[in-house]
Amino acid sequence: MPAEVIVIGCGASGMAAAIAAAREGAHVTVLEKNDRAGKKVFISGKGRCNVTNDCDTADFFDHVMRGKKFLYSAVYGCDTARVQRFFEENGCPLKVERGGRVFPVSDKSSDIIRTLLRQMEALGVRICFDTRARRLRTEETREGVRAGGVISDTGEAFFADAVILATGGLSYPLTGATGDGLRMAGEAGHKITECTPSLVPFETKEAWCRDLQGLSLRNVRLYTEGKKGFDRQGEMLFTHFGVSGPLVLNASAYVEDARLPATYYIDLKPGLDEVTLDKRLQREFLLHGKKQFKNSLSSLFPARLIPVMVGLSQIEKEKSCARITAEERKRFAARIRKVPFTVSKKRGWDEAIVTRGGVSTADIDPSTMASRRCRGLYFAGEVMDVDALTGGFNLQIAWSTGVLAGRHAAHGGSVV
Ligand SMILES: Cc1cc2nc3c(=O)[nH]c(=O)nc-3n(C[C@H](O)[C@H](O)[C@H](O)COP(=O)(O)OP(=O)(O)OC[C@H]3O[C@@H](n4cnc5c(N)ncnc54)[C@H](O)[C@@H]3O)c2cc1C
């Protein structure tokens, strides 16, 4: 008799789990509270879906923030090459962009979802939309607690040999991730680590950040001081509340709420060393000798940034370039390399790309994704205490853990 497997959640990890379990011969039913599959996948990558990252597996783990060791089996078992092959072989050609980020050639996340749904249909997976799982059906056995199915919001009972919790975390609740899985896992005896928004924009204290709303800076360095500080290069964006963009989102993954407010610095010219930058300023000031300082910086910064840099320079803005002293110039060069601003707090769940925290990985067997607390229960994706940086790494975690959970749930965790 094929095993009955229920997957709670038809998001990225739930779809991967359903396909993997069905390929192993299981009868699979997916319960999804929304009226369609993959709402979060649909909005991922700004609607283009950065489906994975084309890096080697060792490099992949450098981008994982929490759960690195825990994810070894899952990611080595289903790596980024395998995910890319799956989509390519099933009619969804992919392309690789800057930083190894992989997208569908069509630039449409809907093509990723369609490919997964087509596979599920071909494998006979049943999807029950508008069906919210409320609690797990568990029973006491001689070997301990066992999951035997799910009770829905309307009281309907679904029976199963194995249940896969793939409900996502708490980020972007409008997509369906509202923490139901965390509650259900907690009720079944699992430890839930503290959950906070990650890959999320920062609010800043300084008004000048907000004044620059809409300005994007490419190839800048964002850093903090101290041993365990953040230090990376990339792109950042000023917003009506502070700062965002890939560099800032990644910075948010490194900082705990308790450490805020904190001072961050922007290096506007990370490609120039001290001497080269000083020579560059010298050249500019020589060239614009008669011009006022405030009118001499257009080849150095975007127009909207100039008044801010003039304000931070401690050089009189009307001073002619010829009268700027070597000391003032050197101080200005140092400021260009170290523009300070204060991060007051992170934005909330509505804007977070992922959840930091979740079901403790200590309660999950990393080689099967099976619960150590409740037999017949498996986990996949963001509901667990695992997260990574931007660049396709979080979806890869969802695919890898989904596949591992699905394969083992199909055999009640005993085979494969
Ligand atoms: C705006 C945005 C952009 C992103 N872009 C990228 C990107 O480009 N690349 C990348 O790698 N990552 C990206 N991510 C992160 C990535 O989308 C997630 O990490 C990934 O979707 C997690 O997959 P999951 O299956 O664990 O959860 P989800 O995809 O959130 O799926 C969980 C599903 O479970 C359902 N569910 C929840 N509770 C219940 C219940 N009680 N009963 C039934 N169903 C339930 C939900 O409705 C949902 O459909 C992005 C995230 C956001 C918010």
Measured by CA distance, the residue closest to atom 47 of ligand 1 is: 176
pLDDT at 136: 97
* Cα-based distances in Å from 251 to 70, 188, 207, 257, 355: 23, 34, 20, 12, 14
Q: Is 34 in the pocket of ligand 1 (CB under 6 A)?
A: yes
As a three-state string, the secondary structure of the chain is: CCCEEEEECCCHHHHHHHHHHHHCCCEEEEECCCCCCCHHHHHHHHHCCCCEECCCHHHHHHCEEECCHHHHHHHHHCCHHHHHHHHHHCCCCEEECHHHEEEECCCCHHHHHHHHHHHHHHCCCEEECCCCEEEEEEEEECCEEEEEEEEECCCCEEECCEEEECCCCCCCHHHCCCCHHHHHHHHCCCCECCCEEECCCEEECCHHHHHCCCCEEEEEEEECCCCCCCEEEEEEEECCCEEECHHHHHHHCCCCHHHCCEEEEEECCCCCCHHHHHHHHHHHHHHCCCCEHHHCCCCCCCHHHHHHHHHHCCCCCCCEHHHCCHHHHHHHHHHHHCEEEEEEEECCHHHCCEEECCECHHHECCCCCEECCCECEEECHHHECCEECCCCHHHHHHHHHHHHHHHHHCCCCCCC
Measured by CA distance, the residue closest to atom 19 of ligand 1 is: 394
pLDDT at 1: 84
Phi-psi map region of 332: left, alpha, beta (phi>0 left; psi -120 to 50 alpha):
alpha
10-residue stretch averages of pLDDT, the chain, 416 residues long: 95 98 98 98 98 96 97 98 98 97 98 98 98 96 92 97 97 95 97 97 96 97 91 97 97 94 97 94 93 95 96 94 96 96 97 97 98 97 98 98 98 54
Q: Which residues contact 38 (CB under 8 A, 6 or more apart)?
A: 10, 11, 12, 15, 109, 112, 113, 116
Cα 109 to ligand 1 centroid, rounded to whole Å: 13
Fold topology of 4-196+354-409: FAD/NAD(P)-binding domain (3.50.50)
pLDDT at 416: 33
Q: Is residue 232 a contact partner of residue 382, using CB atoms and an 8 Å limit?
A: no
pLDDT at 413: 47
Strand-pairing partners, residue 30, are 7, 127
| Best probe residue, ligand 1, of 127, 198, 394 (max atoms within 8 Å of C-beta) | 394
Cα 177 to ligand 1 centroid, rounded to whole Å: 7
Cα 220 to ligand 1 centroid, rounded to whole Å: 30
pLDDT at 54: 98
The pTM (predicted TM-score) of the whole model is 0.96
Nearest CA among 257, 276, 268, 324 for reference residue 296: 324
Q: Is 12 in the pocket of ligand 1 (CB under 6 A)?
A: yes
Cα 156 to ligand 1 centroid, rounded to whole Å: 25
Atom of ligand 1 nearest to the CA of 49: 8
Condensed to tens digits (0 to 9), the pLDDT of residues 53-81 reads 999 999 999 999 999 999 999 999 999 99
Strand-pairing partners, residue 202, are 243, 346
Distance CA 257, CA 348 (A): 11
pLDDT at 206: 94
Atom of ligand 1 nearest to the CA of 181: 38
Q: Is 164 in the pocket of ligand 1 (CB under 6 A)?
A: no
Comma-separated ranges of CATH 3.50.50.60 domains in the chain: 4-196+354-409
pLDDT at 53: 98
Atom of ligand 1 nearest to the CA of 396: 11
Nearest CA among 178, 169, 195 for reference residue 33: 178
Q: Is 50 in the pocket of ligand 1 (CB under 6 A)?
A: yes
| Best probe residue, ligand 1, of 34, 44, 46 (max atoms within 8 Å of C-beta) | 44
Q: How far from chain centre, in Å, is Cα 95?
A: 20
Cα 91 to ligand 1 centroid, rounded to whole Å: 23
Measured by CA distance, the residue closest to atom 38 of ligand 1 is: 167
Q: Is 354 in the pocket of ligand 1 (CB under 6 A)?
A: yes
Structure tokens given for 395: 């979806």
Cα 11 to ligand 1 centroid, rounded to whole Å: 5
Q: Is 203 in the pocket of ligand 1 (CB under 6 A)?
A: no
- Provide the sign of the torsion angle of the four alpha carbons 398, 403, 409, 415, taken in this order: negative
Atom of ligand 1 nearest to the CA of 184: 41
| Best probe residue, ligand 1, of 167, 170, 386 (max atoms within 8 Å of C-beta) | 167
* Cα-based distances in Å from 299 to 146, 280, 284, 285, 288: 67, 10, 8, 11, 11
- Provide the sign of the torsion angle of the four alpha carbons 238, 242, 245, 247, taken in this order: positive
Q: Which residues contact 3 (CB under 8 A, 6 or more apart)?
A: 21, 25, 26, 27, 161, 162, 409, 410, 411, 412
